[in-house]
Every structure is written in C-alpha cells, then in structure tokens.
C-alpha cells in the first residue's frame, strides 16, 4: 500500500469522544517506550507524525491519525510505566477496555512487544485480556535491530511458547525495526486487506 497522506486528527479522553466510526481503524498498544510512535511514523514515512520518546506515562489520550484520507491509526497510551499512580492505572484500564470493546470500527489491534526482552508478565497479561474481550490482534516484536538475531529469535519463540500455554491458535506476528526499516510492508498488507473487508461489510 502506498501512503499518500498522514495527518494528526484529534486526541480524545475516551471512546465516546473519538471521531465518527465511519472508517476502518487500527490501534497500536504496548508498554511505554516499546517503540509505538516510531513504528507509526515508519509505517507512514512521516517522522513528525507521532511524537517519539515524549515523557512516558504522561499522555492518557486516544490519538487518531488519518491515513490516505480513508483509514485511522490510533496511538493508545502505553502501559507499565512505573511512576504512574494506582488511580491513574485504573483510569487507564477502564479507558482502554471501553475503547477496545466498544469501538465499532476497530479492525485490528497491533500489540507491541520489545524483542530485546524475554517474555514479560505484563505483556502476557494484556494479551490474555485481549483474548478475553475477543479483540482481533497481531503481535509486533519491535526493536529487532538492538539485539543479535539469535537473542531476538529466542525471545520471540519464548513469548509465543508462553502464549501456547493458554491459546489454541496463535495470532499473526511481525518483526520490526524502525532503524533498519523492516516489517513495514507486511503490516501495511494486513491493513490493506482489512480495509477491503470494511468496505464490503
């Protein structure tokens, strides 16, 4: 898919404030610092679109970006930031759950996992929540350039093995690096296929 335009639209405090659900939408979520903004920028070939490395845990908003005037990318606030209070965490949880479960135009969630690390409890827990809520999702293993190939492969395998303990079928997964610019085409292909589905709906 060719990206002809990408623009920031709005930041919303909850799903009720989001733009009219008349376009297919793809949400990106993961721990803060996992590489969400960088990935969104790489997908759009637009380094100024999503803000990278802004103070983690600060923005608790649902950010909409309009791509090619026909579909949305949504940057969701990251989880797992240590300095966030219990109350804020709860508020985040409620906002995310409502958005994910109630947003009619949400076609797929891209759940980002840092490929430098062995499986983290917080990521596995979030994956299980997505399953419990019947949200379609893929996993994106980020920053694959930061560790050697062997470590990356091992971490990915361990994560998927952990998932197999409770999942009969595994979701599709992608391996990305915004430094080496890898994984972009495959993700855009999936989005293009889902966009077609939305049109035929």
Phi and psi at residue 8, to the nearest 5°: -70, 135
Q: Residue 54 Cβ, how far from ligand GDP at the closest point, in Å?
A: 7
Residue 37 lies near Mg ion (rule: CB under 5 A) = yes
Contact 16, 104 (CB under 8 A): no
Alpha-carbon distance 185 to 137, whole Å? Answer: 17
Q: Which helix (H) or strand (E) holds 107?
A: strand 106-114
Residue 53 lies near ligand GDP (rule: CB under 6 A) = yes
Which of 6, 32, 105, 155 touches ligand GDP by CB under 6 A?
Answer: 32
Query: From residue 142 to residue 161, what is the string marking binding to ligand GDP with x (rule CB under 6 A)?
Result: xx-xx---------------
- Burial level of 148, CB count in 10 A (0-12/13-18/19+)? exposed
Q: Residue 107 Cβ, how far from ligand GDP at the closest point, in Å?
A: 21
Contact 64, 74 (CB under 8 A): yes
Q: Residue 150 Cβ, how far from Mg ion at the closest point, in Å?
A: 29
Residue 122 lies near ligand GDP (rule: CB under 6 A) = no
Q: Residue 84 Cβ, how far from Mg ion at the closest point, in Å?
A: 15
> Which string of DSSP letters, residue by residue, matches 4-39?
--EEEEEEESSGGGSPPS-S-EEEEEEBTTSSHHHH
**Interacting positions 56-75 with ligand GDP (CB under 6 A):** 56
Which of 29, 34, 74, 113 touches ligand GDP by CB under 6 A?
Answer: 34
Alpha-carbon distance 48 to 44, whole Å? Answer: 10
Which of 6, 24, 25, 37 touches ligand GDP by CB under 6 A?
Answer: 37
Q: Which is nearer to ligand GDP, 178 or 195 (CB)?
A: 178
- The residues binding ligand GDP (CB under 6 A) are 30, 32-38, 52-53, 56, 78, 142-143, 145-146, 177-179
């Amino acid at each position: 898919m060719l990206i002809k335009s990408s623009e920031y639209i709005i930041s919303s405090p909850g799903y009720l404030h989001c733009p009219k659900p008349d376009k297919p939408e793809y949400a990106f979520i993961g721990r803060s610092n996992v590489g969400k903004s960088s990935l969104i920028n790489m997908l759009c070939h637009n380094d100024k679109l999503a803000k990278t490395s802004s103070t983690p845990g600060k923005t608790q908003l649902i950010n909409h970006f309009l791509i090619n005037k026909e579909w949305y990318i949504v940057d969701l606030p990251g989880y797992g930031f240590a300095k966030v209070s219990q109350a804020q965490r709860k508020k985040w949880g409620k906002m995310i759950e409502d958005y994910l479960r109630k947003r009619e135009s949400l076609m797929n969630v891209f759940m980002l996992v840092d490929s430098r690390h062995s499986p983290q409890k917080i990521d596995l827990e979030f994956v299980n929540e997505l399953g419990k809520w019947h949200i379609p999702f893929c996993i994106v293993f980020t920053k694959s350039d930061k560790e050697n190939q062997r470590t990356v492969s091992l971490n990915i395998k361990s994560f998927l093995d952990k998932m197999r303990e409770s999942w009969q079928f595994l979701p599709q997964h992608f391996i990305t690096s915004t430094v080496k610019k890898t994984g972009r085409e495959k993700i855009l292909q999936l989005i293009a296929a889902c966009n077609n589905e939305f049109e035929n709906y």
